[in-house]
Chains A and B, each alone.
Chain A
Amino acid sequence: MKRLFGVFVNGLIVENPLFVIMIGLCSSMAVTTTVANGIGMGVALTFVLVMSELIISLFRNLIPDSIRMPIFLIVIAAFTTIMDLEMKAYFPALSKSMGVFIPLVVVNCIVMGRVEAFSSKQPVADSTVDGLGMGIGYTWVLIALAVVRELLGNGTLLGRQIMPSSFSPMIFFVLPPGGFLVFSLWMAASNNLRRKLLAGKKPEPTQDSCCTLPENGSAEKA
């Protein structure tokens, strides 16, 4: 149980997919202009991540090594499409405002990275918990980014006017450069906290070798 908890909190700060592993940045920059989009994208990715890790971990002994990538993609694409259809049916406004970034979850490196590095080698329970931890780690970062960007860039939170009407929205924060600035400031804060958390502890060998995989670096553009 303690081990599972360790796997879960791993994704929140210590191995946060966005701030530490630094994968899947593109869509996180694009959708965090409003908090509603950030929450929607976070939940969507968490769903795909948990389900893909669960299924792949379940079948990990039945997946031949040489064709594991296409099989991972089939599983991920299936869950992404399911989630896309469900969102279109039951959350049409959210689905519309996120546009192309929902179908693009298929090629989100966080999903591919975790499936390849973790769930293809770990038991089902660990994989599911890892997906949940990584998904929540991703979601909180999106919300943190979106709160700053929507508040300063638009004067609203979740579409409600927060700033007084005399406040002139700073459009800079809605545009990509502002996104990068907010992202870097949050990353500095988060990584400072991470260093404090790890201080005193022995550099523990993490169960996966995710950060050293060459795919992650090159796949970052996706």
Chain B
Amino acid sequence: MKRWQMIKLGLILAVYTIVGCVGLAFVYNSTSKTIAQRLEADLQAGLREVFPEATGFTPTDKVKSTNPNIVFDAAYTANGPSGSLGIAVKVHGPSYGGPTTLIVGVSTDGTITGVKVLENKDTPGLGANAASSTYYVDKATKTTFPGQFAGKKLTDAFIVKKDVIAITSATITSRSITNLVQVVGKAASEALGTAGPAPVPSSQSPSAVLPSADTIRSSSKPATSSLPGVSILETSVGTRTGTIVGAIAKAKAKSYDGDVTVLVGISTDGIITGVQILECTDSQGSPILAPDFAQQFAGKKASAPLEVGTNIDAVSGATFSSRGATALVKATADALVKALAGGGL
């Protein structure tokens, strides 16, 4: 008897559920087309906003996100009257109150053409001002928060409160949007082939850190560092008309929360001839890839202490990465001096 009662109740519940689902199916059918059209229209309007002079957009899959939290929903090549104008990417990534979706346009000359906020779930009146067309970070020029990115060079630092004006009381929103724009900018510029501050492959660059050499060959005896955690990946020797003028090493070590890879050149008299920061995977470390930072090392004596704050200037916003890179340069230079002194390269 009790079992029958339960089956009966279950059937009644099933009837209500089925009726409800059928009703929903009808509503879904009648609205899904409109909703899809709205989303498509939003996307097209956003693409036009970042590339006003484009004649059309073709989907592309060349652009890849380097950050697992930041997802590229779609990427388009903007077609102009005479070839490609650049790449527009629809991207979403985490922000204060949930994911934020943007359209970011990157032109072939390595600048951001525009940023449009499609969706932002941050605090109304604060973070949500990112999507507002009447909230100005610069009232004099009527620049909105996303508007300030238009025309920005990809080689800029992209640091909120330094070269990006924050939204009042919404620093987290400002940071996450800035980060999204920068990630898209980098990925797009790589796809476009306009490498801004992008790492230069080491095979092309050794001569740049040891300009006095006319031939670079790989060393027969690799340099080794006595410091734990520093691994020297490649050692090369620079010669000029057959005589050794210096040595070059590519080395890698842990930095703030990622790794930093540098290329250090040193002359036989123990002077650092040049440094390149090849890669930095720290979360806020990319500014140290700027050539200005690495240029500070050239001409310094390898035996002298190298310290951020005394004879090396940190890149603002990336102090820890600056320190990590400096320590690695010092360790690599020491290793090279030792290797040069030991001979047999």
- Using CB atoms and an 8 Å cutoff, list the residues of chain A in contact with chain B: 33-34, 37, 62, 64, 66-67, 70-71, 74-75, 77-78, 81-82, 85-86, 88-90, 92, 96-97, 99-100, 150, 153-154, 159, 161, 169, 171, 174-175
Q: How far is the CB of A187 from chain B (nearest CB, A)?
A: 22
* A85 to B75 Cα, complex, angstroms: 27
In the complex, chain A residues whose CB is within 8 Å of the CB of B23: 78, 82
Once A33-B125, A96-B119 are accepted as A-B contacts, the answer to whether A88 and B38 lie under 8 Å apart by CB is: yes
Q: How far is the CB of B96 from chain A (nearest CB, A)?
A: 13
| Listed A/B pairs (21) with beta-carbon separation below 8 Å | A37-B124, A64-B9, A64-B12, A71-B13, A75-B16, A77-B20, A78-B23, A81-B24, A85-B28, A88-B31, A89-B34, A89-B35, A90-B34, A97-B128, A99-B98, A99-B121, A100-B121, A159-B134, A171-B125, A171-B169, A174-B125
Taken residue by residue from 314 to 340, chain B's Cβ proximity to chain A (1 for < 8 Å, 0 otherwise) reads as 000000000000000000000000000
Output the nearest chain A residue to B135 by Cβ-Cβ distance.
Answer: A154
* A34 to B9 Cα, complex, angstroms: 45
Instruction: Tell me whether chain A's interface is mostly helix, strand or loop, or mixed.
Output: helix
Interface presence of B27 (CB below 8 A) = yes
* A154 to B132 Cα, complex, angstroms: 12
- Using CB atoms and an 8 Å cutoff, list the residues of chain B in contact with chain A: 9, 12-13, 16-17, 20-21, 23-24, 27-28, 31-32, 34-35, 38, 42, 98, 119, 121, 123-126, 128, 134, 169
Output the nearest chain B residue to A77 by Cβ-Cβ distance.
Answer: B20
Contact call B24/A174, Cβ cutoff below 8 A: no
Q: Which residue from A74, A77, A82 sits with its C-beta under 8 Å from B27?
A: A82
* A151 to B288 Cα, complex, angstroms: 45
Output the nearest chain A residue to B38 by Cβ-Cβ distance.
Answer: A92
Question: Number of A-B pairs whose CB atoms are under 8 Å?
Answer: 71
Contact call B38/A33, Cβ cutoff below 8 A: no
* A89 to B121 Cα, complex, angstroms: 19
Contact call B17/A74, Cβ cutoff below 8 A: yes
Contact call A67/B13, Cβ cutoff below 8 A: yes
* A137 to B329 Cα, complex, angstroms: 70
Q: How far is the CB of B95 from chain A (nearest CB, A)?
A: 13
In the complex, chain A residues whose CB is within 8 Å of the CB of B119: 96
In the complex, chain B residues whose CB is within 8 Å of the CB of A97: 124, 128
* A99 to B122 Cα, complex, angstroms: 10
Output the nearest chain A residue to B21 by Cβ-Cβ distance.
Answer: A78
* A102 to B128 Cα, complex, angstroms: 18
Contact call B34/A154, Cβ cutoff below 8 A: no
Output the nearest chain B residue to A85 by Cβ-Cβ distance.
Answer: B31
Contact call B169/A89, Cβ cutoff below 8 A: no
Q: How far is the CB of A125 from chain B (nearest CB, A)?
A: 23
Q: How far is the CB of B313 from chain A (nearest CB, A)?
A: 37
* A82 to B29 Cα, complex, angstroms: 11
6 further A-B pairs in the complex, CB-CB below 8 A; given A67-B9, A171-B126: A70-B13, A78-B21, A78-B23, A88-B38, A92-B38, A159-B134
